[in-house]
């Protein structure tokens, strides 16, 4: 299995809602990442998890709350989002240590905040 | 701080011709990895090719090759024999450090359109 699976593919939520994005991989990767991508822009790193521990938080607002319950699963909990948070959210995974590390991305969740 | 620059917002190429997408980078770390990804309109980020900073030879993967010029800090992607399915956004990306995971940063991207 060489895939990163993200669910849901599309999500529409109100500004008062609570929702979660899910990311799963079974490649034995011990580093997992959340990126946010606005239309026609490059992905921007949000969080990095290494061995289920948060190692990088790129000063993301607290309305985004990541969680890594085990080595295969990464969640992004959303609460009280703003319309400007509408974007494509990409999950990626990689080995944490080794030669020529490559990042594998999921297909993303397209989030619309109304 | 690491930086990636793609100066071509959009490119057109005729089907079956070759095309070069430009990428320059800046880092003070002697060890780094350079990546190219393709992103179709569906949104998935598809890995194309990788070059490590100590690799002596340019990386190749099928129709994709990476023209790595270390002294000029450039890592251009060459696509040979373009196909209609190559129309997509292409991102150059870099990670500092060779043997560990970590922050992967992206250039602004180049939108490639292949004409029949």
CA atoms within 13 A on the CB side of A106: 30
Cis ω before A8 (30° cut-off from 0):
yes
Tell me: the pLDDT tens digits for B54-86? 998 999 999 999 999 999 999 999 999 999 999
Predicted pLDDT at B99: 62
Tell if the CB–CB gap between B102 and A31 is shorter than 8 Å.
Answer: yes
Q: Which one of B21, B34, B44, B45 makes the best mutation probe of the A interface by having the most chain A beta carbons within 10 Å?
A: B45
Predicted pLDDT at B100: 63
Cα B36 from Cα B85, distance rounded (Å): 16
Predicted pLDDT at B101: 65
Tell if the CB–CB gap between B95 and A101 is shorter than 8 Å.
Answer: yes
User: Is B91's Cβ below 8 Å from some Cβ in A?
Assistant: yes
Compute the nearest-CA separation of A98 from chain B (Å): 5
* CB atoms inside a 10 Å sphere around CB A83: 9
Predicted pLDDT at B107: 97
Taking 50 as the pLDDT cut, the residues of chain A under it are none
Taking 50 as the pLDDT cut, the residues of chain B under it are none
CB distance A29 to A93 below 8 Å: yes
| B28-B19-B104-B73 Cα dihedral, nearest 10 degrees | 0
Q: CA angle B106-B108-A109, nearest 5°? A: 70
Predicted pLDDT at B13: 97
Predicted pLDDT at B70: 95
**Dihedral over Cα of B43, B44, B46, B51: its sign:** positive
């Amino acid at each position: 299995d060489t895939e990163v699976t993200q669910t849901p593919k599309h999500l529409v939520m109100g500004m008062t809602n609570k929702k979660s994005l899910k990311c799963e991989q079974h490649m034995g990767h011990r580093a997992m990442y959340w990126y946010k991508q606005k239309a026609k822009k490059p992905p921007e790193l949000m969080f990095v998890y290494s061995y289920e521990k948060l190692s990088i938080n790129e000063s993301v607002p607290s309305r985004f709350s990541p969680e890594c319950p085990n080595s295969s699963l990464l969640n992004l909990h959303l609460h009280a989002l703003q319309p400007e948070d509408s974007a494509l959210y990409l999950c990626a995974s990689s080995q944490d240590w080794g030669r020529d590390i490559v990042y594998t991305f999921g297909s993303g969740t397209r989030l619309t905040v109304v | 701080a690491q930086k990636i620059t793609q100066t071509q917002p959009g490119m057109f190429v005729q089907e079956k011709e070759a095309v070069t997408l430009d990428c320059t980078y800046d880092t003070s770390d002697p060890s780094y990895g350079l990546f190219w990804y393709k992103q179709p309109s569906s949104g998935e980020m598809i890995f194309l090719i990788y070059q490590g900073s100590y690799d002596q030879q340019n990386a190749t993967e099928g129709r994709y090759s990476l023209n790595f010029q270390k002294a000029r800090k450039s890592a251009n992607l060459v696509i040979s024999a373009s196909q209609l399915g190559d129309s997509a956004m292409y991102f150059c990306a870099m990670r500092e450090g060779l043997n560990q995971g970590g922050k992967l940063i992206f250039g602004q991207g180049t939108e490639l359109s292949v004409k029949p």
